[in-house]
Amino acid sequence: MQKLLNIPKQHLIIFTRYPEPGKTKTRLIPALGEVGAADLQKQMTEHTILQVQELQKISAINVEVRFAGGNWELMQNWLGVGFVYQTQGEGDLGERMMRSLVDAFSNNAEQVIIIGTDCPGLNSHILASALEKLKVCDLVLGPALDGGYYLIGLRRVVPELFSQISWGTAKVFQETIEIAQKLNLLSGYLPSLADVDRPEDLPVWEQIFCR
C-alpha cells in the first residue's frame, strides 16, 4: 500500500461557545448586559480564530472547533466552513477536554493543543512556540494569570491531568503541574497571559481591541 504523505499530524482544538445573550460570559453581564457580554464572546472568539488562521499560514495543522450552545449550522455560518465542528458534549471541563483529546489521537494526531478564547494575548507566535515545544516535551502549558491555563498541549492522552482538578478555581495550573511531576512528564511552559472573565478584566480586552 502506498504510504500517505503530507497528512497533518498536528491538531488544534478551540473550545468556545455560541454567543447567545444570557448564556455566555455571564459573569460580565452586570457590566455589559446580556447582549454586550455575548458580543464580547463573539469578538474574542473571532480574534482567536484570526490568530489560528495566521498559524495555518506557516503550519500544516488540523483545526477543530468544539462548541457549546448553538448548533453545527449556526457555528459554520458564524466562523466559516474551514474548520471541523463538534459539540463539547456533557461533563465538566476535564471530561470535555479528555473526550476531544481521545478523538484527536484516535484519528492519528501526534500533537494536540487545546485552547480557549478568553486570552486576547494569545497569538500565532505563541501557538507556533507551543508546537515547537511539543516536539520535545510531553506536556505544554500556557499559564493564565488567574491560576488556570489558556493552552494545554500533549503528545498522548494522559487522563490523570483531567481528573481531580478544581476547575474554575485559581488552583488549576498548580494542580496540573503537580500531577505532571508525579507522572514524570517533561513539561514546557509558555508566557503567562491574562484572561477576560470578570468586569475587572475588561481593560485586558480593550488594550487589544482598541489598538
Q: What is the number of other CB atoms lying within 10 angstroms of the CB of residue 134?
A: 20
pLDDT per residue as tens digits for the range 172-182 = 999 999 999 99
Average of pLDDT values for 151-177?
96
Whole-number average pLDDT of the chain:
93
Q: Is the pLDDT of residue 15 over 80?
A: yes
What per-residue confidence (pLDDT) applies to 211?
A: 57
Q: How confident is the model at residue 6 (pLDDT cuts 50, 70, 90)?
A: very low
What per-residue confidence (pLDDT) applies to 1?
A: 33
Burial of 178 (0-12, 13-18, 19+ CB in 10 A): exposed
What per-residue confidence (pLDDT) applies to 208?
A: 74
Average of pLDDT values for 131-145?
97
Q: Is the pLDDT of residue 8 over 90?
A: no
* Inter-axis angle of helices 29-56 and 124-134, nearest 10: 60
Q: How confident is the model at residue 209 (pLDDT cuts 50, 70, 90)?
A: low
What per-residue confidence (pLDDT) applies to 210?
A: 62
pTM of the model: 0.93
SS3 61: strand
More confident residue, 16 or 209: 16
pLDDT per residue as tens digits for the range 93-136 = 999 999 999 999 999 999 999 999 999 999 999 999 999 999 99
Q: Quick one: residue 80, left, alpha or beta (phi over 0 = left, psi -120 to 50 = alpha)? A: left
Which of 103, 128, 105, 127 lies closest to 116 in space, CA to CA? 127
